[in-house]
Amino acid sequence: MADQPRGVGPEEARTKGVSIEHNEMPNGEFRFRLKHDDGTAYIRTEATDSGGWQKSHFHRNVRETYIVQRGRVALAELVEGALKIRIFGPNEICTTEPNVSHNVYMYRNSVIHTVKHGEAGDSADWHSNPLLDEKTAHLDESDITRLETK
C-alpha cells in the first residue's frame, strides 16, 4: 500500500550514508549507534552496575547533546584551563560546545541518549584530551559531588 512506510534495510541505508555500530566499551558500557557519514549520530549508552568515566575528548565542529533517561551523569569540561563539573539527572539535557574538552561520568545503571550534531564534514571529529583524563579519571562520586560547579 502506498500509505504505509517501506522498510529500509542496512544495505540501502548504507547507500544513504547511514550505518549502525554497536560496542561494549573497555569500561563495560554498551553503546548502540546510528551514524551518518557527515559525522552526525545518535548513541544510546547503557552504564554498568558500577558506573565510570568515559574518555576525555573535544570536537572541532560537532556538538554533543546528552539526554539523561535514567540515573545520573556528570559532565566534566576544561574551560580556560579550569575543571568545571555539572551533574544531570533524569529528563535533563546538556550540550557541549565545539573546541571544549569534556568527559562524562556515567553513574551506575544510567542510560543516556547522545545526539552528535553540527557540521562535522566527512571526517571523524573526535580529538582525545589526556590532560582532562588526568584531572577526572581518579575522581569518584563523592569527589564529583564536592567539585560540582553550581
Tens of pLDDT, residue by residue, the chain (150 residues): 579 999 999 999 999 999 999 999 998 999 999 999 988 999 999 999 998 999 999 999 999 999 999 999 999 999 998 999 999 999 999 999 999 999 999 999 999 999 999 876 666 788 999 999 999 999 999 999 999 987
- Residue 57: predicted pLDDT: 95
Output the nine-digit C-alpha cell for 108.
551506575
- Residue 125: predicted pLDDT: 85
HSE (side-chain half, CA atoms, 13 Å) at 15? 4
- Residue 150: predicted pLDDT: 73
Residues paired with residue 88 on neighbouring β-strands, in sequence order: 73
- Residue 122: predicted pLDDT: 63
**What predicted TM-score, i.e. pTM, was given to this entire model?**
0.92
| Contact assessment for residue 65 and residue 94, using Cβ atoms and an 8 Å cutoff | yes
